[in-house]
Structure 1
């Protein structure tokens, strides 16, 4: 039996300070767009990552500035094809809900973690979790409302 090729999708970390900077430097932002990024490297183990940039409305353009999301905890999901890897989107309203809503203790998150997943149509998307740094280690914070996921574009129904 032939081994099926897989791709490793790592969990990725996005600091709240970087999100705030992107918002502040992107007048007219209406959503965050996440595109796949593969570094220019000779290291064969270099993983796929995501970059984040702003979609600016009503100009219908994208910011020239972007952030590269860092690998988080070297946790990963191995996926075999067929896969559809397209841009993923989070609305500004959903991002503000994620970063500005305090947990039951009144604390806001310090960073978000993007955890890869796939749906029935084989679009790769990311579940987004909130984390707070504490003196005893990082703590997962509950979602402020229903879970927020990235939405693959062209839009794919996430079930």
Structure 2
């Protein structure tokens, strides 16, 4: 059997405090844009990460611009996902509304975990789950996902879903 080329992707952690800071400092933010990031490393098999930018539409920029600042998402517990090709790597997007649904609720999470997946069109996207540092805050196991609506998925851009 022929070996298929594979890529490794980190499960990623995005602190809610960093999300809120990006929202507060980005006038007219309408979307979070996640781009692939491969840091300088001497570790040849290091998995891919993501950076998060704000996309903004406001009076000064009615056609929209991207923030010059970005957050580099850290790996979550060194978990990785190996994905066989062919795959399409493109920016992933969450709208501000979707992000606020994840982080702005009575039982505010501490961070989000983004888990890589592949859809039927072979686009890499991320499932997004809200997590807590302190299990006693919601009375379940530490780092448990929000109960209620299912986790959101990022949308590969150009829109794949």
What is the TM-score normalised by the length of structure 2? 0.89
Give the aligned partner of residue 94 of structure 1.
Answer: 98
Gaps of 5+ in 1: none
Task: Determine the C-alpha separation between the residues in 1 that align with 2:143 and 2:46.
Answer: 28
Contact 2:8 2:46 in 1 (8 A): no
Change (3 A) 1:41 1:67: same
Change (3 A) 1:77 1:150: same
Stretch of structure 1 that moved more, 41-50 or 55-64 = 41-50
Contact 1:72 1:113 in 2 (8 A): yes
Task: Determine the C-alpha separation between the residues in 1 that align with 2:23 and 2:148.
Answer: 20
Give the aligned partner of residue 32 of structure 1.
Answer: 32
Give the aligned partner of residue 85 of structure 2.
Answer: 81
Number of residue pairs aligned between Structure 1 and Structure 2? 153
Gaps of 5+ in 2: none
Give the aligned partner of residue 110 of structure 2.
Answer: 110
Task: Determine the C-alpha separation between the residues in 1 that align with 2:147 and 2:36.
Answer: 25
Please report how far the alpha carbon of residue 61 of structure 1 lies from its aligned counterpart in structure 2 after TM superposition.
Answer: 0.5
Please report how far the alpha carbon of residue 62 of structure 1 lies from its aligned counterpart in structure 2 after TM superposition.
Answer: 0.2
What is the TM-score normalised by the length of structure 1? 0.90
Task: Determine the C-alpha separation between the residues in 2 that align with 1:115 and 1:93.
Answer: 20
Please report how far the alpha carbon of residue 134 of structure 1 lies from its aligned counterpart in structure 2 after TM superposition.
Answer: 1.4
Stretch of structure 1 that moved more, 35-44 or 15-24 = 35-44
Task: Determine the C-alpha separation between the residues in 1 that align with 2:112 and 2:54.
Answer: 17
2:53 is paired with a residue of what secondary structure? strand
Give the aligned partner of residue 68 of structure 1.
Answer: 72
1:46 is paired with a residue of what secondary structure? coil
2:144 is paired with a residue of what secondary structure? strand
- Over the aligned positions, Cα root-mean-square deviation in angstroms equals 1.6
Please report how far the alpha carbon of residue 5 of structure 1 lies from its aligned counterpart in structure 2 after TM superposition.
Answer: 1.5
